[in-house]
Amino acid sequence: MRKPSSLHGFGRWLSSAAAGALLLLCAGPAAALQVGDKAPQFAARALDGSESLSLARFRGKVVYLDFWASWCGPCAKSLPVLEKLRQEFPAEQFQVLAINVDKDVELARKFIKPYSVGYPSASDPEGRLPEVFGIPTMPTSFLIDRNGVIQYVHPGFREGDAEELRSRIRSLVEAQ
């Protein structure tokens, strides 16, 4: 039987180290938040620059947290739907809070202007919040209950999603 040489041992060590390094490099981003997770608290500057928006400000309400961008096609479809949903439920019980991830804030401002949405939009050009929430696609929305727990994650937006959203919001709003 041949005795393994030290060089052979070094080669094995080298290949193990390379495999380990590759695993580390390929490690994905932080896991996406799931239903049942507590929504992380945050504060971000409003898109119009007027104030700082935080999730804590809407404590006690059902919150629909929507990540959007001006370059995202389905986001454009979702804006009027979200505005309609906002108007359908009492303001003291339901709140839509949007987070814009455009790097160029001015583009986002121009984009949202014609939609005349009545809900606040925060700006996060550095993309810190989508990283924290681990959003899988654009847009992604989180329906958060009165206790700050995520009750529904809605990746993407297609026509016909409004009905399901409405029913989920209603059940949370009506729940005591």
Partner 1 sequence: MRARRGYLAAGLAALALGMSTGCASTLAQKISPGLDAVTHWDWSPERVKPWERDILARREMAFDPDPLTSTRRSHVYFSKEAALSAGEAGGGGCGCN
Task: Please work out the total of residues on this chain that contact partner 1, with binding judged by CB under 8 A.
Answer: 25
Give φ, ψ of 174 to 5 degrees: -80, -20
**Tokens describing residue 25:** 């490099």
138 lines the binding site for partner 1 (CB under 8 A): yes
Distance (Å) of CA 158 to CA 82, 97, 121, 143, 155: 13, 19, 21, 17, 10
Q: Per-residue string for binding with partner 1, 48-67, x by CB under 8 A?
A: -------------------x
Distance (Å) of CA 96 to CA 11, 16, 144: 58, 50, 10
The distance of closest approach from Cβ of residue 141 to partner 1 in the complex, given in angstroms and rounded to an integer, is 13
Q: Which of 72, 66, 52, 69 is nearest to 98 (CA)?
A: 66
The distance of closest approach from Cβ of residue 101 to partner 1 in the complex, given in angstroms and rounded to an integer, is 4
> Which residues between 82 and 111 bind partner 1 (CB under 8 A)?
101-104
List of residues contacting partner 1 (CB under 8 A): 5, 7-8, 10-11, 14, 25-26, 29, 67, 69, 71-72, 101-104, 127, 130-131, 135-138, 140
